[in-house]
């Protein structure tokens, strides 16, 4: 009898834990894909699970990871933010121009450190301002999100291009590189930033009244409005947060590459964030930050694994993109059959 009660309590505790951390069938599917990929590349490539390889992945994935979180938040409301990469680049360009054009060259290292902090603050402010612009267009003017953010993507890119005249901004102080290329207690600082932003996103969306409003609005905006939720204000906050997250990506990129440019990631990053949201099964009103995290790690594992597997072979970048597409189709098909079986039951 006591044994049955113990098993029952354990089962209840496990279910409560799954519910708390938003663990669902998609989470288990992604974990299974992740395990298969790690085993495959771990067996076929001797250096895949080396400390150096893992550290490299931890340095690389935070940029696209935080940018994906910037995409996930408006997606939960039934919207989209196509301007996240343009926001990231604009934030980096303006912060970079401040360091190169405004800051005196003959200041002490301590003073330069303060100027670097001020430049990072400028980047975050730029991200917030771009969010206000998107929030006004989507929430208050009523422009469809895809059209509004497509327009602002072009607008923000145009500003970056005009300010730099198409050139790459370089010549930053060494203090800036600490964020993007150094480690703390053996953990890359960019990855620590990514974990902090991921945790903040989880708290905002699933542990606050604001998060409930976001998910309620994504599920049924009309019912949300009649229940007393100010949809316009929620959208404004959503796009401001999305813009700030995008500017964090700009800071990490600028610090890692010690440069800023209007075209960085312009051809791939937005599509990658949408791909990751699809893999994580993010839909209006429903989504899991944990699924986003796992999907990001999966794509980084694929990218690194295929780079090592096909090193020196022509067309290796094609196979990386090909593998992402195959993975996406595989999960679509698997989700379809799982959903069909569930409906039959």
Q: What mean pLDDT is predicted for residues 237-241?
A: 97
Tokens of 139: 């929430």
Q: What mean pLDDT is predicted for residues 61-88?
A: 94
Instruction: Judge whether 301 and 30 are in contact, CB under 8 Å.
Output: no
pLDDT of residue 333: 75
Residue 199 lies in a domain: yes
Instruction: Judge whether 226 and 103 are in contact, CB under 8 Å.
Output: no
More confident residue, 314 or 152: 152
pLDDT of residue 7: 47
pLDDT digits (tens, 9 = 90+) for 82-108: 999 999 999 999 999 999 999 888 888
Residue 14 lies in a domain: no
pLDDT at 117 over 90: yes
Quickly state the pLDDT bin for 1 (edges 50, 70, 90). low
What percent of the chain lies above the pLDDT cut of 90? 50
Residue 274 lies in a domain: yes
Separation CA 66–CA 48 (nearest Å): 24
- Whole-angstrom CA distances from 191 to 27, 195, 245 are 21, 6, 14
pLDDT of residue 314: 56
Q: Which of 129-138, 275-284, 302-311 has the highest mean pLDDT?
A: 129-138
Residue 320 lies in a domain: no
Report the chain's mean pLDDT, rounded to a whole number.
86
pLDDT of residue 21: 53
Instruction: Judge whether 223 and 212 are in contact, CB under 8 Å.
Output: no
In total, how many domains does the chain have? Answer: 1
How many residues belong to the chain? 345
Residue 341 lies in a domain: no
Containing domain of residue 178, as a range?
Answer: 63-290
Residue 8 lies in a domain: no
Quickly state the pLDDT bin for 321 (edges 50, 70, 90). low
Q: What mean pLDDT is predicted for residues 250-254?
A: 94
Axis crossing angle, helix 269-279 with helix 51-76, rounded to the nearest 10: 80
More confident residue, 16 or 207: 207
- Please state the three-class secondary structure of 81-93 as a single string: CCCHHHHHHHHHH
The separation between the first and the last C-alpha atoms of the chain, rounded to the nearest angstrom, is 32
pLDDT of residue 137: 96
Tell me the pTM.
0.87
Residue 197 lies in a domain: yes
Q: Which of 25-34, 167-176, 238-247, 271-280 has the highest mean pLDDT?
A: 238-247
Residue 149 lies in a domain: yes
Cα 79 to chain centroid distance, Å, stands at: 16
pLDDT of residue 313: 56
Q: What mean pLDDT is predicted for residues 193-204?
A: 95
What radius of gyration do the chain's Cα atoms show? 22
pLDDT at 5 over 60: no
């Amino acid at each position: 009898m006591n044994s049955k009660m113990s098993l029952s309590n354990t089962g209840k505790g496990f279910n409560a834990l799954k519910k708390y951390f938003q663990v669902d069938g998609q989470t288990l599917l992604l974990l299974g894909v992740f395990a298969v990929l790690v085993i495959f590349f771990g067996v076929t490539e001797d250096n895949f699970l080396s400390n150096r390889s893992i550290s490299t992945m931890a340095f690389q994935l935070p940029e696209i990871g935080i940018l994906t979180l910037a995409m996930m938040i408006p997606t939960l409301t039934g919207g989209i933010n196509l301007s996240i990469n343009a926001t990231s680049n604009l934030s980096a360009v303006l912060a970079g121009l401040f360091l190169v054009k405004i800051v005196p060259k003959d200041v002490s290292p301590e003073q330069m450190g303060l100027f670097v902090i001020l430049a990072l603050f400028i980047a975050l402010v730029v991200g917030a301002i771009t969010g206000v612009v998107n929030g006004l267009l989507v929430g208050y003017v009523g422009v469809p999100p895809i059209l509004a953010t497509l327009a602002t993507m072009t607008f923000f890119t145009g500003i970056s291009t005009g300010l730099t005249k198409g050139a790459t901004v370089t010549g930053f102080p060494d203090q800036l590189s600490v964020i993007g290329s150094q480690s703390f207690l053996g953990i890359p600082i960019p990855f620590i930033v990514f974990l902090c932003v991921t945790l903040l996103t989880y708290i905002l969306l699933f542990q606050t009244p604001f998060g409930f409003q976001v998910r309620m609005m994504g599920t049924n905006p009309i019912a949300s409005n009649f229940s007393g939720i100010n949809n316009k204000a929620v959208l404004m906050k959503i796009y401001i947060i999305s813009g700030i997250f995008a500017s964090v990506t700009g800071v990490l990129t600028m610090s890692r590459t010690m440069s800023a440019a209007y075209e960085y990631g312009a051809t791939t990053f937005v599509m990658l964030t949408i791909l990751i949201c699809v893999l994580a099964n993010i839909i209006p009103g429903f989504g899991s930050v944990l699924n986003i995290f796992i999907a990001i790690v999966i794509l980084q594992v694929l990218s690194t694994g295929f780079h090592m597997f096909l090193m020196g072979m022509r067309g290796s970048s094609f196979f990386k993109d090909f593998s992402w597409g195959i993975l996406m189709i595989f999960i679509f098909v698997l989700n379809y059959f799982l959903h069909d079986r569930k409906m039959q039951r």
